[in-house]
Every structure is written in C-alpha cells, then in structure tokens.
Amino acid sequence: MTKKTFAYFPGCSLEKMAESYHLSTVEIARVMGMELKELEDWNCCGATAYFHVDELLAHTLCARNLAMAEKEGLDLVAPCSGCYKNMHACNAHLKKDHDLADHINFALEEDNLRYDGKIKVHHLIEVFSEDLKEVKAKATNPLTGLKVAPYYGCQILRPRKFEHENVEEPRYFEDLMTAIGATPVDFLLRLRCCGAALIITNRQAALSMVRNLLQNALDSGADVIATACPLCQVNLECYQDQVNAEFGTKYSVPVFYFTQLMGLSMGIPAKRLGIGTEFLSPPAAMLAACRKAAAV
Amino acid sequence: MATTVTFSQEIGNLLHAAGGTPVSACMQCGTCSGTCPVGDFMDVRPQRLIRMIDAGFKDKVMATRAFWYCASCYQCTVRCPRGIDIAELMYGLKRYTIWKNQYPEDLIGPAFSETFVKNIVRTGRSYEPVLATSYFFTLGLKEMLSEAQNATMLMLKGRLPVLPARIKRLENFKRMIKRIIPIGD
Ligand code: SF4
Ligand code: SF4
Ligand code: SF4
Ligand code: SF4
C-alpha cells in the first residue's frame, strides 16, 4: 500500500493550548504509516471572528493556506473543526466563483502564490475513520471497558460539506471508538453545539449549553467525552468549575481528544500523547491502559 | 430609473453572496427557532427575526442582539425546509451592523471579533493571551475572576504560549491584505 501523505494544518490552538492534540496526532499518524507534512508558514484561518468583520479578507486568509498545500501537490488536513469548516467552505466558494478566485489570486501574487482549486480539504478524524481495519490492527492495547461519549459538535458536520453526507445520524466517531476497543455510549446530544465563542461573548448562554452536554454525557453512562476539536475540548473541560458555580452542580467529566484515545490503544506512552496536561484526570479504564502502554 | 433597495433586498443580497435562498422563501415553519440551541437566550428567535427582515423592519432588526448570540452551529441551516442559510444570514447581519457601526454598546461580540481580526492582520496568527486581556475588562467581576483562574490553570499545565506566534513571510502577507483592502500604513 502506498503511504498516504497530507499537508497538515495544525491551527493556532494546537500550538500551545491544545498541544496534546497535536502531539497525539503526530504519534498516531506515524503508527498508521501516514505522513503529515506541516504546511510551511501557514496563517490563521480567521476562525469565526473574521467572517463577522469582512468576508472577502476571511476567504483570502484561507486561500493562502490552500494555495500552499496545492503547491506541494497535497490535500489539506485540519484537526480543528473551525479551521476545517472555514477552509472547506472557502475551497467550495473558490471552485464555484471564478471572479472571487481571480480577485483573491491577485492578492496571493504578493506572496508568490496562486490557487487553482485542485486540492481537497479533510478533517483529521475523517482520514483515520476511512481506514478502520488498519486502526483495529494497530490497536494492540485496546481500551476495553472504557465508555466513551463521542462528541461531534457542529462544524465537522455542519454546514453540510458533501451532498449526501449524513449530518443527522453519523456513525464514524462511534465506529472509530469501537475499533480501538472502547465502548461508545448513546450520547444523545453528540451533535449539539457547545456554545463556541459565546463562552466569551455570552457567558451565561454558553455555560448552560455546556451543562446540558455534561449532564447528557453522564446520563448516557460515559466515563469520558472524546472530542475532535480544540475549542470543544476547552469549552467542555476547562469551564466545568464555572458551570458548577453557576448551577450548583458537581461535574467532573474528563474530556480527551480522540487521537489521545487512539494513541493509548496503540500502546504509545501517555506522556507522548500529552496526557497529563488536562484539568480533569483520566478515568480508571484509561489509567489501566496508560500503565500497560508504559510497560510495553 | 433610480430604484431604492429595500432592507429585505439588502439582506437578501448578503445571502445571495453566500449562495443561499432569499428570506422571502421562508414559510414560517419554526424549525429554525425550535432547533436553535441558543434560542432561549435570544431576544428574538430566528423564525421571527426572518419575518422581521422580510417585513422590512430595519430599525427593529438592527436593535436586536439575537444574531450576536448566534453560535454559528448551522443546525438551523441544515434543517430549514426552504434551504435558507440562516447561519450565514446571522453572519451577514453581524457584518452589516459593524459596517453601519450600529449595535448595542454593551455587546462583547463586536469588540472581540475586531480584536481578533487586528491580531491576525498584525501577525498572521491568533494569540490567545492577547485575546483574553482585550475582553477581560468588559467582563463582570465574577467572570473576570473565573477567567483568571482558568488562565492560571492553563499556565500551570503548560498550555499558554509565552510569546505570540507570527508567520515568517509577514511582509508578503501584509501586502496581500492590502491588495484586498487598499489602505496606507
Ligand atoms: S479556527 Fe481557531 S485554531 Fe483554527 S486557525 Fe483559526 S483561530 Fe486558529
Ligand atoms: S461544538 Fe463548539 S467548538 Fe465544537 S464546533 Fe461546535 S461550536 Fe465549535
Ligand atoms: S426553518 Fe426556514 S422556512 Fe422554517 S421558519 Fe426557519 S427560515 Fe423559515
Ligand atoms: S446557527 Fe445560530 S441561529 Fe442557527 S441554530 Fe445555530 S445558534 Fe441558532
């Protein structure tokens, strides 16, 4: 089988705040025989904020990244759902609207770049989900007994990226968790928004959204929530104290990246997966896997 | 013959740019309001907001906070039976009010977005601590303390950057931006 190679766009959050997502991604890609070439000199995709202010410039920012990936002849993969959504949408717009593409290419000249719409944009979870057999084969330290609430959040699925995409009943996150030996629970609110930037701009609304998600994860019997986005992770994990203060609750639900769980199942030592930088410690079934991984 | 563009048409044009169906296609089914996770916190829910736009109630629309409370989760968009891209409409309304410089003064959203943008234009990357401090003083005391608590925790866990990141070809990047928005230095 030929080695799969992608242009990797880590995004601002993965540089430090979500470094554990980055570390674990690099580790499991290596085990899976996938090459992630970090996009040279990538820039911020603009998050949601840029689209609040100026749409044309927001697309230009995304297009610069697309152009750099195209220059390498590689499809782009992003671990942050926000980055993925922005660059996917920009790609679709540029392929459809040639005037927009011309205008943006005129600006890209300043950095000796040009984009001709030749590449695709993927979310990280998509590229691993496509090869479940391989994931299963590599999961030599399966996470038996770990009950996981797979949290899709919004932007991976919405807005719809492909015409026939199942945006209401996806299964790939669950399937991926099954492949590593964990047990995905029926997490009813798995597609429900966590509040995103409202955590800053409308604290009350966001905290109540986070509370609903935590409660639902507990009700579904989960030991841990798995995420595929640095913003989902921070909102769900780092604001539990504030949720508890606001609603008089006592939540303490660990929240990890799916890549950290995959890495553990592959026997990679916890430290190399960034485990230890979280606010809330791993549940028992994960700790058992951590011990086994350290022993290998 | 000179024609005046109505408010509804103006907003419709924002949607056309995103490739969506115009708001006049709305059949007031209420799916968007029912599905919106922030609905309980909005002064006007999406369904009614759309009705207000269609009716041309510009002043009323401009005075609402609803779209600044939209989390851009696109749940309404994927469920609207008429294919109206409500989430993009909310983005459009945010841009429209910033452009007109008309939004309730106590909203954090506009200032937050503008700081974020300035930061990217300056460095090519976003830098979390700068963001935190820029909105810090707009928060109430309780939120301020909890933000400080989170920042301390992130720092202890090694999750806060010490120096702002910047891209390498920053000069090219800035000239690229100037080709889109031609302004001086
Ligand atoms: S969405 Fe967030 S993480 Fe991704 S590039 Fe933009 S600011 Fe950075
Ligand atoms: S769940 Fe939250 S952070 Fe994740 S994509 Fe949705 S809004 Fe963004
Ligand atoms: S879901 Fe669509 S058609 Fe129904 S009320 Fe909302 S905008 Fe109108
Ligand atoms: S995109 Fe905005 S308006 Fe639509 S459901 Fe989500 S939060 Fe509500």
Q: Is B157 within 8 Å of A277 when comparing Cβ atoms?
A: yes
CATH number of A4-124: 1.20.1050.140
What band does B132 get if pLDDT is binned at 50, 70 and 90? low
**A46 to chain B: which residues are within 8 Å by CB?**
117, 120
Tokens representing A88 are 């996917």
Note the pTM of the prediction, 2 decimals. 0.91
R_g of chain A, CA atoms, integer Å: 19
Measure the CA–CA gap between A117 and A132, rounded to whole angstroms. 29
Low-confidence ranges of chain A (pLDDT < 50): 1
Which overall architecture, per CATH, does domain B7-99 show?
Orthogonal Bundle (1.10)
Q: Are B123 and B170 in contact (CB under 8 A)?
A: yes
Tell me what pLDDT residue A108 has.
97
Q: Is the pLDDT of residue B36 over 70?
A: yes
R_g of chain B, CA atoms, integer Å: 20
Among residues A195, A189, A177, A181, the alpha carbon closest in space to that of A257 is found at A177
3-state secondary structure B66-86: HHHHCCCCCHHHHHCCCCCCH
Tokens representing B52 are 């207000």
**Taking the domains of chain B in order of start, what are their residue ranges?**
7-99, 109-180
What band does B130 get if pLDDT is binned at 50, 70 and 90? very low
Q: Find the residue in A nearest to B167 (Cα).
A: A41
Measure the CA–CA gap between A85 and A77, rounded to whole angstroms. 11
Tell me what pLDDT residue B173 has.
92
Find out whether the beta carbon of B38 lies less than 6 Å from any atom of ligand 4: yes
The reply to whether B91 touches chain A by the CB within 8 Å rule is yes
> Which atom, in ligand 2's list, is nearest to the CA of A154?
6
**B154 to chain A: which residues are within 8 Å by CB?**
17, 238
Measure the CA–CA gap between A121 and A114, rounded to whole angstroms. 17
Neighbours of B153 (CB within 10 A): 14
Tell me what pLDDT residue B122 has.
81
Tell me what pLDDT residue A14 has.
86
The answer to whether the bond into A159 is cis (omega within 30° of 0) is: yes
**Taking the domains of chain A in order of start, what are their residue ranges?**
4-124, 133-295
Among residues A265, A53, A235, A96, the alpha carbon closest in space to that of A155 is found at A235
Q: Are A86 and A47 in contact (CB under 8 A)?
A: yes
Distance B46 CA to ligand 4 centre (A): 8
Measure the CA–CA gap between A197 and B109, rounded to whole angstroms. 9
Tell me what pLDDT residue B138 has.
55
**Contact residues of ligand 2, CB 6 A cut-off:** A 81-82, 153-155, 193-194, 196, 229, 231-232, 235; B 71, 73
The amino acid that residue B53 corresponds to is I
Measure the CA–CA gap between B139 and A31, rounded to whole angstroms. 45
In this prediction the ipTM stands at 0.90
> DSSP letters of A46-86?
-TTHHHHH-HHHHHHHHHHHHHHHHHHT--EEESSHHHHHH
Out of A62-71, A243-252, B69-78, B122-131, pick the least confident: B122-131
Q: Are A224 and A148 in contact (CB under 8 A)?
A: yes
Structural fold of domain A133-295? Rossmann fold (3.40.50)
